[in-house]
Amino acid sequence: MAPNQVSDPVPLVNSLDSIYSKAGVLKNGKRWDDLASKFADAYDGLKPDFIARAPGRVNLIGEHIDYVGFSVFPAAVEKDILMATKVTLAPAGGSSDSVEVVLKNTTTRFAETSFTSRYDSVDGVQLLNSGDSRWANYFKVAFKGLHSHLPSSVLDASNPSRPVRIQVLVDGTIPPESSLSSSAAMTTCSSIVILESFSARSLIDRKEMAEVAIESERLVGVNSGGMDQSASIFGIPDHALYISFYPELSVEPTKLPQSDTEHTFVIVNTLVVSDKKVTGPVNYNLRVVETRMAARALAKGLGLGSGNGCKDLRGVLETYFAENGGVGRLELEIENSGAVKETLEKSGEEAARIKVLEEKVESLYHDDTLKAGLTRQQVEELTGYSGEEFDKEFLSSFPIRADKFELYKRSKHVFTEALRVLQFRSLCNSPSPDVYRQLGSLMDDSQSSLRDLYNCSCDELNTVIDIAKRNGSLGSRLTGAGWGGCTVHLVPKKKVEVFISAMRTQYYAKRFEGKGLSEDELNDACFDTKPAGGACVYKV
Ligand code: NG1
């Protein structure tokens, strides 16, 4: 390995077999071939140097807990973003202090756009708040985020491979704002294009890439967790990913259990668009803030003080055990609670610690008044933060709008969902004959919690889930942030046809009555999926 090269860079692939299933190769092969000719049409006959790819993801379980620090269980999907790219270097002897990025999209909805940045500073790169060039923000934030991670030798004038122009043609199959994470795929793919264009792909490893992509995406205005970028970067065919964020980002590829009957995950898009950038103040970002308030309230209730460690619910759990004698504390808790003891026996120590905190939540919000939505004044009393301190702690990062804050319901969801992820993982790792029924039941419980405690389901999501449960699904839940977008269903392979046909007649035909959806639109909205490979670069 050459000096400075990392051991785990975004891989270079030379065949689509390492990305897609057999059916996926058939489906996507022509698309890849066509992209080069579309690139030539878009850029005066030029040929791309490489194609970067980043997939979307479906989350199997563990919703709205990544930004709180708990582990999640997604898989990368075959739907993805491709960026065909041509890099132009400064002519020999010539010099430039900046690089121009030209962005075109095969979908006309996204207007052609470009921006220029100096090599030594990205401060001049402005994000757009509106207009049909706004999609360039994903590329811009990737550039801004990555800039400080690029070694100075890459940006320095002494580097003969510094690009003066990067021309990109984007082609995506992930429906936008549908909770399959087209945004994270855009940020991730853009980061890879930048790395490859500056010949720096082998200088930054995938973990750092994921961390940068997570930070970068927050610049777009969403207080997002790290699940999507990590799933997009670390996807492996046929594996789900157990992704942990504590004490640091780590990814454990996990095979779904073997069984006599084949099972699959079917994705059903409600086709209700939920744009987090627009609804953030009342939906996604508000939930992030509520969980932070809940963390401070729980920390105060447990007498843990207001250190940085307690800013999220995972931090509260860790601080509680660290300050109260670790394992010894757990032993004490077991003596006091049969449920904790049972959780320890069934699902291990980490699960038992989560169960302890779930019980602390019940004690803190011990009556119905506290369990209901709370006014700012009540939250001030519970958290110990008031006035300007309250504004700074909870209201300064992203704008939110709310009269009431649901701290009990959000905390209860977080701890029960975190526990379900661990149970899901142990079922996958030591399967029993009934494993798929048990996995399905965890998915159903997750959905109930998202609907009733996290309030992020909606009528259409509930309708699709009801239809699914009547037509062969063992477990059905919304996937991603919710409030629309997609659902995921665990279905025995032999029931998939019936399942999809029921969705078509009972959901799509009714919802789009009169307008009708084409066969392609229907295939795109409701489909059987397999875990796919992660982000990569393909040299043309
Ligand atoms: P979606 O809406 O599917 O992109 C979002 C967040 C995730 C996670 C889920 C909820 C972004 C980019 N992604 O997913 O990190 O918090 O909601 O589990 O904001």
Over residues 444-472, the pLDDT tens digits come to 999 999 999 999 999 999 999 999 999 99
Q: How far is the CA of 307 from the centre of ligand 1 (A)?
A: 27
Please work out whether the CB of residue 217 comes within 6 Å of at least one atom of ligand 1: yes
Q: How would residue 267 be classed by pLDDT, with cut points 50, 70 and 90?
A: very high
Q: How would residue 3 be classed by pLDDT, with cut points 50, 70 and 90?
A: low
The CATH-assigned architecture of domain 278-455 is: Up-down Bundle (1.20)
> Which atom of ligand 1 is nearest the CA belonging to 482?
2
Please work out whether the CB of residue 181 comes within 6 Å of at least one atom of ligand 1: yes
Q: What is the pTM of this model?
A: 0.95
- Distance between CA atoms of 492 and 241, rounded to whole angstroms? 21
Known catalytic residue at 312: no
Q: How far, in whole angstroms, is CA 338 from its chain's centroid? A: 35
pLDDT at 232: 98
- Distance between CA atoms of 87 and 198, rounded to whole angstroms? 9
Q: What is the DSSP letter of 385?
A: -
Whole-angstrom CA distances from 185 to 190, 372, 469 are: 8, 37, 30
Please work out whether the CB of residue 66 comes within 6 Å of at least one atom of ligand 1: yes
Please work out whether the CB of residue 9 comes within 6 Å of at least one atom of ligand 1: no
Percent of the chain with pLDDT over 70: 99
Sign of the torsion angle spanned by Cα atoms 498, 73, 430, 465: negative
Q: How would residue 132 be classed by pLDDT, with cut points 50, 70 and 90?
A: confident
Question: Mean pLDDT lowest for which of 10-24, 147-161, 257-271?
Answer: 147-161
> Which atom of ligand 1 is nearest the CA belonging to 183?
12
439 HSE (CA, 13 A, CB side): 29
Please work out whether the CB of residue 225 comes within 6 Å of at least one atom of ligand 1: yes
Amino acid 335 reads E
pLDDT at 223: 72
Over residues 195-250, the pLDDT tens digits come to 999 999 999 999 999 999 998 888 877 777 899 999 999 999 999 999 999 999 99
Q: What is the DSSP letter of 45?
A: T
Three-state DSSP string of 111-161: CCEEEEEECCCCCCCCCCCCCCCCCHHHHHHHHHHHHCCCCHHHHCCCCCC
Phi-psi region of 388 (alpha: psi -120 to 50; beta: other; left: phi over 0): alpha
Q: Identify the residue whose tokens are 């919703």.
A: 63
Amino acid 4 reads N
Question: Quick one: tokens of 441?
Answer: 């039941």
pLDDT at 513: 81
pLDDT at 168: 98
pLDDT at 378: 98
At residue 342, does pLDDT exceed 60? yes
pLDDT at 108: 87
pLDDT at 540: 87
Question: Quick one: tokens of 113?
Answer: 């756009």
446 burial level (CB within 10 Å; 0-12, 13-18, 19+): buried
7 burial level (CB within 10 Å; 0-12, 13-18, 19+): exposed
Please work out whether the CB of residue 183 comes within 6 Å of at least one atom of ligand 1: yes
Query: Which residue, by CA, sits nearest to atom 4 of ligand 1?
Result: 181
Mutational pocket test of ligand 1: of 181, 232, 244, the residue with most ligand atoms within 8 Å of the beta carbon: 181
DSSP track, 276-325: HHHHTTTTHHHHHHHHHHHHHHHHHHTT--S-GGGSSHHHHHHHHHHHTT
200 contacts 495 by C-beta, under 8 angstroms: no
What average pLDDT score do residues 150-164 get?
87
pLDDT at 316: 97
Sheet of strand 12-13, all strands in order from the earlier edge strand to the far edge: 12-13, 536-539, 50-61, 73-89, 163-172, 98-105, 113-118
pLDDT at 2: 58
Question: Quick one: tokens of 17?
Answer: 């077999």
- Distance between CA atoms of 449 and 447, rounded to whole angstroms? 5
Q: How far is the CA of 180 from the centre of ligand 1 (A)?
A: 9
Question: Mean pLDDT lowest for which of 13-22, 76-85, 411-420?
Answer: 13-22
SS3 44: coil
Query: Which residue, by CA, sits nearest to atom 17 of ligand 1?
Result: 481
- Distance between CA atoms of 425 and 427, rounded to whole angstroms? 5
Phi-psi region of 275 (alpha: psi -120 to 50; beta: other; left: phi over 0): beta
pLDDT at 306: 87
Q: Where in the chain is the domain with CATH 1.20.1440.340?
A: 278-455
Find the DSSP H helices in 174-223.
182-197, 206-218
In sequence order, what are the residues at sequence separation of 6 or more whose Cβ sits closer than 8 angstroms to the Cβ of residue 152? none
Question: Quick one: tokens of 325?
Answer: 């004698």
- Distance between CA atoms of 86 and 391, rounded to whole angstroms? 47
Fold of 12-260+532-539: Ribosomal Protein S5; domain 2 (3.30.230)
At residue 1, does pLDDT exceed 70? no
Neighbours of 132 (CB within 10 A): 14
- Distance between CA atoms of 81 and 57, rounded to whole angstroms? 12
Question: Quick one: tokens of 424?
Answer: 């899901």
Mutational pocket test of ligand 1: of 174, 178, 219, 228, the residue with most ligand atoms within 8 Å of the beta carbon: 228
Please work out whether the CB of residue 64 comes within 6 Å of at least one atom of ligand 1: yes
pLDDT at 525: 95
Question: Quick one: tokens of 463?
Answer: 């309708």
Question: Quick one: tokens of 37?
Answer: 């000719």
- Arithmetic mean of pLDDT over the chain: 94
Q: Where in the chain is the domain with CATH 3.30.230.10?
A: 12-260+532-539
